Amino acid sequence: MRKKDTSTEKGGGTSASIPTTKKYSLDTTHTAKLEKELAVQQERLVHLRDTADETNLLLHQAQTAFDKTESRHLAGRADARSLELARKALDDARQRHAKASVEAEEAERLVSGILPLAIAEAQHAALAQLRDRLRTEAQVKAKQLAAVLAQAKGLSDELRLLSDAADRHFTVNQMVRLKVSLIGVLDLGEEHGYVSPRAGIPNLSCGWLTGQSLQQPTLFDVWRRELEAFLAQTPQEMAEADKLNRVTHIAQDAVRYKECLVREEAQRKLEAMMEARAGGRMPKGTKILD
């Protein structure tokens, strides 16, 4: 048995497809890879730090053993071979510790600096890519919607003209008196019958598209001006404007920061002058020059 389709039962027509947000989602594939690599390097760093600590301890032990052997050699209580073996053990310990230290430092650099910066850059790149895609798609869809709404406005205006014509020609100004009834209709005779006010035609025009008159601006006109302003720049031009916006704000903030420093210095000098006057250390009327 086929399942009954209830999609058209409500509203008397086919339901519009619901747009999915999946294609407008942020692509975090590269960021996720970098975050996974960061987790791996963090675990590796813990191991490398332990190794560096162990080699440092072994280096300290080898240094102590070499110092003891060298002292015994100078005292004539150890031969040259023993000293050479102790020196070789110390060199090996130094090399192992140096290698472990370098590896730990490189891992530390990856964990503390390089990978976090790479993750931030990947996030910024993904957001910029999504920004450009959203802007491009928004312009395409907005143009399509503008074309549909322009056609809808034409139909709405026609409905308003029809309603105005019905109101003009079928306005009931007189009451028809029957034997016991008094009704407000337009009598067109036996052949055409009684016509209700406005010929039974309501004003079906869309108020958002058509105003009280065809000459009045509507919300559609406001929306269309906003659309034209949005379409005035391409996504590439808007991306360049974003860069300029950042540079401009940073430059303006630097200027404001310098102005704050100047005001603080002026305030400091003023407070110093007031304190000097209060303590009698400055003659009255003395001015501090910049």
H-helix or E-strand spanning residue 102: helix 80-109
pLDDT at 36: 96
Rounded CA-CA distance 199/165 in Å is: 10
Rounded CA-CA distance 40/42 in Å is: 5
Rounded CA-CA distance 124/130 in Å is: 10
Q: What tokens does 198 get?
A: 């406005």
Vertex 203, ends 200 and 204: CA angle to 5°?
105
The tens digit of pLDDT for each residue in 241-259 reads 999 999 999 999 999 999 9
Lowest-confidence region among 37-46, 48-57, 198-207, 210-219: 210-219
**pLDDT over 70 (residue 17):** no
Rounded CA-CA distance 34/30 in Å is: 6
Q: Write the Ramachandran bin of 193: left for phi over 0, alpha for psi from -120 to 50, otherwise beta.
A: left
8 A C-beta contact, residue 247 and residue 236 = no
Rounded CA-CA distance 74/66 in Å is: 12
Looking at this protein, which amino acid is placed at residue 91? D
Question: How are beta strands 186-187 and 176-177 bridged, if at all?
Answer: unpaired
**pLDDT over 60 (residue 70):** yes
